[in-house]
Amino acid sequence: MTICDIAQFHSPLGGGVKRYLHDKRLRLEAQPGCRHVLIIPSYRNHVTAGPGHAVYEIESLRLPGSKSYRMLLDKRRILEAVRREKPDLIEVGDPYRTAWIGLEAGRQLGIPVVAFYHSDFPRALDRTIVRFSGALIARALSAPIRRYIRRLYNRMDATIVASQHLTDTLRRARIERIAHIPLGTDTALFHPRDSRDRVRAEFGVAPEAKLLLFVGRLAREKGIKNLIGALDRLSPDSPPVHLALVGDGELDNWVHLEANRRPNLTWLPYCESAERLADFYSASDLFVHAGRWETFGIVSLEAQACGTPVVAVRGGGLEESLSCENNPLLAEAGTPEALAAALDGALRRPAITATERTGRHHVLAGRFSIDRTFEKIFALYRQLIAENRRCAAKLQPAPVRAEAAGKSARAS
């Protein structure tokens, strides 16, 4: 089984999509007879191949306003790569040009094409339209946008969705063939570690302070400015805090200036090492995410797997990832005031013990294992490939029997 991912949202600076594709490759390579092909935007044209995988980097223009994303637009090179690899199934991870190229490649090869709904396209686009054109224009474009996603995703053999909330959203939009498969995390890698003293010393955290952590892109939609603004609105009765931000993005320069002027703010660039991230998660008192536009939130699972409580925004994409919590820590909105109120409540709770961290890890591992995620995804792939082959076999002309062929030749 050869699976080809065409990934517009792949970023060299990390993110949930990159983590998902990395985990998929490792698990496909571990299965006999399986191969993973990845087509991504890049600053160059380059192919890297191994025994169980191939990565096609396609030279692409940088997305305006973004430090890490590029626009995967070269149809010719994408189709050439797919034809060369001859996959059994294609997965696309965005609703833009590459999704339509993936469908065309699927038609040419006669193979299934599935979509992974990594981004809530209508909501993200609506946010952008409101920002630049106003709410009135956004309302006028709402129906055409939904017609577009219905036309696109109903051409897919399946659309994979990580959260129940988005599953319901797509069903209301009359999208068919939805597969709800929650994401998971590698709980063998992300688990509680004895890193507290070492990490706090590295970040320069005062002995009496609580360590808050954010890991992810430093982008507007992640609520970074509101998260830092919440530090100024915490109650005087709350314990002192130190916020560490780990990641890169278009807000790098602004965050760098804020870190220079705030003694309780540390910024570290994007961290490639999952081991080091697990140390950061394990050393923190709280993981905080102010974004409202996530589709699921793998970083939330990573933090919980390390035993760290998570503060998220109610109604945001991380809320479903907190379903293991009896009393999840949710801000009522993504504003600095609402985030500060949620943090005040979280900081007043008793400090979590090592035993409780271990218990959190086991609870999360039982529900959000990455191995279970890919078992379901690979089962879906195999089902679609088998159905496609059965349909193709039915369309083949019936073989001419030798005896009938001989009679026909003599008659002529």
User: What does the pLDDT look like over 306-323, one tens digit per residue?
Assistant: 999 999 998 777 777 787
HSE, side-chain direction, 13 A CA sphere, residue 299: 30
Beta bridge partners of 31: none
CB contact at 8 A, 286 and 330: no
The rounded mean pLDDT for the chain is: 87
pLDDT of residue 318: 78
User: Shortest CA distance to 127 belongs to which of 138, 113, 117, 115?
Assistant: 138
Q: Give the integer Cα–Cα distance in Å for 315 and 87.
A: 38
Which pLDDT band holds residue 139 (cuts at 50, 70, 90)? low
Confidence grade of residue 154 (pLDDT, cut at 50, 70, 90) = very high
Q: What is the DSSP letter of 325?
A: -
Instruction: Encode pLDDT of 239-271 as tens digits.
Output: 999 999 999 888 989 999 999 999 999 999 888
Average pLDDT over residues 338-364: 89
**C-beta separation of 78 from 69 below 8 A:** no
The pair of three-digit structure tokens given for residue 242, joined into one six-digit string? 């130190």
Q: Compare 295 and 285 and report the one with higher pLDDT.
A: 285
Instruction: Judge whether residue 111 has pLDDT over 80.
Output: yes
Burial track 228-240 (b if 16+ CB lie within 10 A, e otherwise) = bbbbeebeeeeee
Rounded to 5 degrees, φ, ψ at 88 are -90, -20
pLDDT band for 325, please (50, 70, 90 cuts).
confident
Question: d(Cα 339, Cα 2) in Å, to the nearest integer?
Answer: 45
Domains of the chain plus CATH, in order, are 2-184+388-395 (3.40.50.2000), 196-367 (3.40.50.2000)
**CA pair distance 185, 299, nearest whole angstrom:** 9
Cα-Cα-Cα-Cα torsion 86, 89, 94, 95, nearest 10 degrees, comes to 100
Break the chain down into helix, strand, coil percent, rounded to 5. Answer: 45, 15, 35
Amino acid at the residue 193: R
Least reliable range by pLDDT among 109-123, 206-220, 398-412 = 398-412
Cα-to-chain-centroid distance, residue 148: 22
CB 3 within 8 Å of CB 29: no
Taking only the tens place, the pLDDT of each residue in 157-210 is 999 998 888 888 889 889 999 999 988 888 899 999 999 999 999 999 999 999
pLDDT bucket at 409, cuts 50 / 70 / 90: very low
Q: What per-residue confidence (pLDDT) applies to 6?
A: 97
Contact 98, 9 (CB under 8 A): no
Handedness of CA 232, 237, 242, 248 (dihedral sign): negative
The pair of structure tokens assigned to 370 is: 């990455």
Q: What is the CA radius of gyration of the chain?
A: 24
Rounded to whole angstroms, how far apart are CA atoms 153 and 159? Answer: 7
Q: Which of 282, 312, 281 is nearest to 296 (CA)?
A: 312
Helical (H) or strand (E) element with 393: helix 370-395
**Angle at Cα 394 formed by Cα 390 and Cα 399, nearest 5°?**
125
Question: What number of residues does the chain have?
Answer: 412
CA distance 347 to 325: 16
pLDDT of res. 141: 61
pLDDT of the residue at 90: 98
Q: How confident is the model at residue 412 (pLDDT cuts 50, 70, 90)?
A: very low
Residues 94 and 120: beta-carbon distance below 8 Å = no
Q: Write the Ramachandran bin of 204: left for phi over 0, alpha for psi from -120 to 50, otherwise beta.
A: left
Q: What percent of the chain has pLDDT over 70?
A: 90
* pLDDT exceeds cutoff 70 at 384: yes
Q: For 188-318, where are the alpha helices, taking DSSP H only?
A: 196-203, 224-230, 252-261, 274-283, 298-305
Q: What is the pLDDT of residue 266?
A: 95
